Amino acid sequence: MAVVFDAQSSADTTGAAAVSFSNSTNLTIGTGTNRALIVLIAWSSTAPTGISITWDGVALSAVSGASSVNGTAGNTKIYGLVNPNSGTKTLAGSWTGSRDFYVAGIAYTGVEQSSAANAFTSGNFANGGSASASIGMDPAFGDTALGNANVAIMGAAANFSSVTEGIQVFLDNTQTAKGCGARIAGSNSIIHLTASLTSANWTVSACQIVQAVISAVSSDCVTLMGIG
């Protein structure tokens, strides 16, 4: 079963010098099977502490390895939830220490449901200081990666202009540190999620969303033979 894009936030939620957010209108999750929710979030400055991200009151888990910070480019993280409640619900978050922030959600179907750790893998990050923020995603599992999906959240010290590799989830230059999110389907070779910007420090966090494993139905066959 391949991972299939369901929905993404109609717009990112952003704020300045904030310690929380709550939005009940920007994302509607469908009723498909094996659902999952990914939340991309970027803060100015270093990572805050005491972070809590919820969907309809249910806590999301931080994706292991998908966290990065690079000075004036800020801090980026990814959170995930398997089997999120369907509908137009509230995406909310809080943390300690005021920060400018950007946040957006992406919903998928066909995702592994055994645990968040199994559903959201290959968490990694990249930092740089140029006019192209980019991260390479290694499929790691060969042909099986064709059914997976990949996401990234980017922060930068200067304005983003466009997503050049992948599909744009959001692009927002409102706050001091800038934010951009992207997604792309799986591949059996290394792929990139890339955004162009005015040359400056940038930081990217990314992960892979793993397709649900469908167990094969086995049957036993017994043959009775008699000799007359």
Q: How confident is the model at residue 105 (pLDDT cuts 50, 70, 90)?
A: very high
For residues 41 and 142, the model is more confident at 41
Q: How confident is the model at residue 140 (pLDDT cuts 50, 70, 90)?
A: low
Q: What is the pLDDT of residue 116?
A: 97
Q: How confident is the model at residue 146 (pLDDT cuts 50, 70, 90)?
A: confident
Q: What is the pLDDT of residue 25?
A: 98
Q: What is the pTM of this model?
A: 0.92
Q: What is the pLDDT of residue 144?
A: 61
Straight-line distance from the first to the last Cα atom of the chain, in angstroms, rounded to the nearest whole number? 50
Q: How confident is the model at residue 218 (pLDDT cuts 50, 70, 90)?
A: very low
Q: What is the pLDDT of residue 92?
A: 98
Q: What is the pLDDT of residue 41?
A: 98
Q: What is the pLDDT of residue 141?
A: 54
What span, in angstroms and rounded, lies between the C-alpha atoms of 212 and 144? 11
Q: What is the pLDDT of residue 46?
A: 87
Place of tokens 């990234």: 152
Q: What is the pLDDT of residue 138?
A: 80
Q: Report pLDDT digits (tens) over 53-64.
A: 999 999 999 999
Q: How confident is the model at residue 100 (pLDDT cuts 50, 70, 90)?
A: very high
Mean pLDDT for all residues in the chain = 91
Looking at the chain, the whole-number percentage of residues with pLDDT higher than 70 is: 91
Q: Are 169 and 102 in contact (CB under 8 A)?
A: no
Q: DSSP letters along the chain, please? A: ---EEEEE-SS-EEEEEEEEEEESSS-EE---SS-EEEEEEEESSSPPEEEEEEETTEEPEEEEEEEEE-GGG-EEEEEEEESPPPEE--EEEEEEEEEEEEEEEEEEESB--S-HHHHEEEEEEEEEEEEEEEEEE--SSGGGGGG-EEEEEEEESS-EEEEEESEEEEEE--SSSEEEEEEEE--SS-EEEEEEEEEEEEEEEEEEEPBPPPPPP-----------
Paired tokens of 152 = 């990234």
Q: Report pLDDT digits (tens) over 111-126.
A: 999 999 999 999 999 9
